[in-house]
Amino acid sequence: MEASGAIIREHGSDAVRSIFAVHRHSPVIDALARTPRILDRARQILGSEVYIHQSRINAMPGMVGTGFGWHSDFETWHAEDGLPAPRTVSLSIALTDNFAFNGGLMLMPGAHRVFVPCVGQTPDDNFRESLQKQKVGVPSDDAVTELGLEYGIEQFTGPAGHALFFDSNSMHASSNNITPYSRANVFLVFNSVENAPAAPYGAAAPRPAHIADRDTTPLTPIHNSEFA
Amino acid sequence: MEASGAIIREHGSDAVRSIFAVHRHSPVIDALARTPRILDRARQILGSEVYIHQSRINAMPGMVGTGFGWHSDFETWHAEDGLPAPRTVSLSIALTDNFAFNGGLMLMPGAHRVFVPCVGQTPDDNFRESLQKQKVGVPSDDAVTELGLEYGIEQFTGPAGHALFFDSNSMHASSNNITPYSRANVFLVFNSVENAPAAPYGAAAPRPAHIADRDTTPLTPIHNSEFA
């Protein structure tokens, strides 16, 4: 997987930060995404059949996790992947306990209704750097401040197995993790089949398939998996 | 105050990180430390008359606060300031709301009973760098991991005005603050007059008086201040 670019490491460390396309590599995660308990909720939220635009495990390693700055996923998925509209929802499932203090996801509840224009142009092959530390396609500090003070901040915390759906236009971030408690979550990004990717709206070429899948075949349920 | 070195700024930013000797500069904070509601608790905990070894405001500025790595204050106060024993207690009072997500103090409850030897020698004038980012007199990652997994982690959170006493040998840290919610706390460090500073145990010279006061005159109560 390393050679495919599916593994991203922490800046300044060998620790694994992200692994992409886990639903393609792992039958367990494929079955997880297709269990009706999960799949039917994604279909209900998006109002159509769905497929997986992106899947990943974000491992926020203990002591050295550098976190994720404030951003809306839709900004990148629109500009670099060509998703026409924010008809996309992420599911984060805790693989380890998510505490407030080990890089637990921060969100601004309600702020997904606000579109925050980002400054700058997308450089070619931006994903090679942005998956380690995102520098373009991110909102200004002023925009984050205004939004954060208006909507407030809540964290996704809970023991392993807890899960959260959040809108693709949610403004979210994670602080660093300097505790010994590593935090790992699997993210399944469901996109409506009626929102299939077009040419990127703000980049020269689409990102690789392991980061942004362009196969929009609807997911079919698995009724008798270990997750049912 | 800038010229006196009492103001420390964030690494890579002009934002104020710490202001020292605030009980010497501010009659309000002097009165706060000497109000019986606070002073009598410090005397009770330390079992003697007390004086202020150090006072400071730590301003964890929104968006750019870099946090504080894991450390025990006593390590520095013994090695660089010459306090013989950990007969010293800190009081942190929230000047702004302390959330879990804006650099709220993390502690390992009970771990103050464990002394963690730190590696390395103290360079001359170490405080000039260590108050911005501490690199010596800090425990190893292995020691932090072992202690954190054994004792767990709790955070000091609460609205402005909430306060916490914690032992000088408490292992504590703060994550970074990438939220727009700045976090400012005043810290009053009470030392027993029976634990007066000697020559530093691990440094060539004591730190300046605005960082480590050597005037051990017992604090006298102020009964009719605005804090009474």
Query: In this predicted structure, which of A38-47, A112-121, B4-13, B217-226 has the lowest mean pLDDT?
Result: B4-13
Over residues B109-132, the pLDDT tens digits come to: 999 999 988 877 777 777 777 777
Q: Which fold has domain A7-218?
A: Jelly Rolls (2.60.120)
Query: How many inter-chain contacts (A to B, CB under 8 Å) are there?
Result: 68
Residues of B in contact with A63 (CB under 8 A): 141, 144-145
Residue in B closest to A68 by C-alpha: B178
Could you tell me how many helices (H) and strands (E) chain B has, helices first? 6, 10
- Tokens coding A106: 């921060």
Residue in B closest to A181 by C-alpha: B149
Task: Check residue B117 and give its pLDDT.
Answer: 80
Candidate from A101, A106, A179 with C-beta closest to B179: A106
Task: Check residue B5 and give its pLDDT.
Answer: 64
What distance in Å separates the CA atoms of residue B199 and residue B189, rounded to the nearest whole number? Answer: 19
Contact B86, B74 (CB under 8 A): yes
As a dihedral over the C-alpha atoms of residue B30, residue B32, residue B37, residue B40, rounded to 10 degrees, the angle is: -20
Contact A69/B178, CB-based, under 8 Å?
yes
Report, as ranges of residue numbers, the positions in chain A whose pLDDT lies below 50: 1, 3
Instruction: Please give the ipTM for the structure prediction.
Output: 0.86
Residues 148-167 of B with CB under 8 A from A: 148-149, 153, 155
Task: Check residue A73 and give its pLDDT.
Answer: 95
How far A122 CA lies from chain B's nearest CA (Å)?
23
Domain ranges across chain B: 7-218
pLDDT at B2 > cutoff 60? no
Fill in the amino acid letter for A170: S
How far B135 CA lies from chain A's nearest CA (Å)?
15
What is residue A98's DSSP assignment?
A: B
Contact B175/A99, CB-based, under 8 Å?
no
How far B15 CA lies from chain A's nearest CA (Å)?
14
Residue B177 pairs in a beta bridge with B65
Over residues B153-208, the pLDDT tens digits come to: 999 999 999 999 999 999 999 999 999 999 999 999 999 999 999 999 999 999 99
Residues of A in contact with B178 (CB under 8 A): 67, 69-70, 173, 175
Residues of A in contact with B104 (CB under 8 A): 100-101
* B contact test, residue of A14, A179, A182, A183 with most B CBs within 10 A: A179
Task: Check residue A111 and give its pLDDT.
Answer: 96
Q: Read off the pLDDT band of B138 (50, 70, 90).
A: confident
Task: Check residue B119 and give its pLDDT.
Answer: 73
Task: Check residue A4 and give its pLDDT.
Answer: 60
Contact A212, A19 (CB under 8 A): no
Contact B19, B7 (CB under 8 A): yes
Task: Check residue B160 and give its pLDDT.
Answer: 97
pLDDT at B100 > cutoff 80? yes
* pTM of the model as a whole: 0.88
